[in-house]
Chains A and B, each alone.
Chain A
Amino acid sequence: AQTVTQSQPEMSVQEAETVTLSCTYDTSESNYYLFWYKQPPSRQMILVIRQEAYKQQNATENRFSVNFQKAAKSFSLKISDSQLGDTAMYFCAFMKHNAGGTSYGKLTFGQGTILTVHP
């Protein structure tokens, strides 16, 4: 079974600064995806970024980037130029898939990190 650990229950950052959220996972699978989702106060889950395990290049989406260290099983999220709208609970998640990518497993979530951006 897979486990995902987010060791930071709460984080805070000043507007326009950079913050990094940590995530580690444990798996014996070789083919998988990693995700970061955000859940703002509205409670709508929003996909932030996605990383395919076989890709060495770190994924980026505008102000969001990841530091994917496969050997260390680490998948941290960096938010640059933090904005008030980034205030949310952030979840790291793991999904395995079969070789050839023909079927996909369920998401395993971490405990979440509450991020507050201060003006």
Chain B
Amino acid sequence: GAVVSQHPSRVICKSGTSVKIECRSLDFQATTMFWYRQFPKQSLMLMATSNEGSKATYEQGVEKDKFLINHASLTLSTLTVTSAHPEDSSFYICSAQPYKETQYFGPGTRLLVL
């Protein structure tokens, strides 16, 4: 149980285009989902918290107009990187939290912007 999927697992795009990453909780309903960014051999950096049916809460320094988050249902959250640039290249991880303390993580999405 407690499986979280992410799609795509890796994506390469041209600078200036937008990329959408999906995060799904497969066998539970997630009241809250989180989006993280991770650079190689570094810790996870929380980007935003999303609750189903409400606007996401972004961490300080994260551009909400660049990283659009939608949490339309209890099993799906999406992160859209708008007008991507090479500096947005990174590993993006989502997690889903049912109504208890543990977060379950997706396998991550590797984004490369050329």
* A residues apposed to B, CB below 8 Å: 33, 35, 37, 42-47, 50, 89, 91, 95, 97, 101, 104, 106-107, 109-112, 114
CB B21 to nearest CB in A, in angstroms, measures: 15
Taking CB atoms, residues of chain B closer than 8 Å to A33 are 101
> In the docked arrangement, what's the CA distance between A70 and B69, Å?
37
* B residues apposed to A, CB below 8 Å: 32, 34, 38, 41-44, 46, 49, 91, 93, 95, 97, 100-105, 107-108
CB A106 to nearest CB in B, in angstroms, measures: 6
> Across the interface, do A44 and B41 meet the contact criterion of CB distance under 8 Å?
no
Taking CB atoms, residues of chain B closer than 8 Å to A50 are 101-102
Interface of A is mostly: strand
- Nearest opposing residue in chain B for A101, CB measure: B101
The listed residue (B38, B41, B42, B103) touching A107 by CB distance below 8 A is B103
The listed residue (B41, B95, B100) touching A45 by CB distance below 8 A is B95
> In the docked arrangement, what's the CA distance between A104 and B101, Å?
6
> In the docked arrangement, what's the CA distance between A29 and B42, Å?
26
Knowing that A46-B105, A107-B34, A112-B42 touch, tell me 16 more A-B residue pairs with CB under 8 angstroms: A35-B102, A42-B107, A43-B107, A43-B108, A44-B105, A44-B108, A45-B44, A45-B93, A97-B101, A104-B32, A104-B100, A104-B101, A106-B34, A107-B95, A109-B44, A112-B41
> Across the interface, do B107 and A109 meet the contact criterion of CB distance under 8 Å?
no
> Across the interface, do A91 and B107 meet the contact criterion of CB distance under 8 Å?
no
- Nearest opposing residue in chain B for A110, CB measure: B43
- What are 28 A-B contacts with C-beta separation under 8 Å? A33-B101, A35-B102, A43-B38, A43-B91, A43-B107, A43-B108, A44-B107, A45-B44, A45-B95, A46-B105, A47-B102, A47-B104, A50-B102, A89-B41, A91-B43, A95-B101, A101-B101, A104-B32, A104-B97, A106-B46, A106-B49, A107-B34, A107-B46, A107-B95, A109-B44, A110-B43, A112-B41, A114-B41
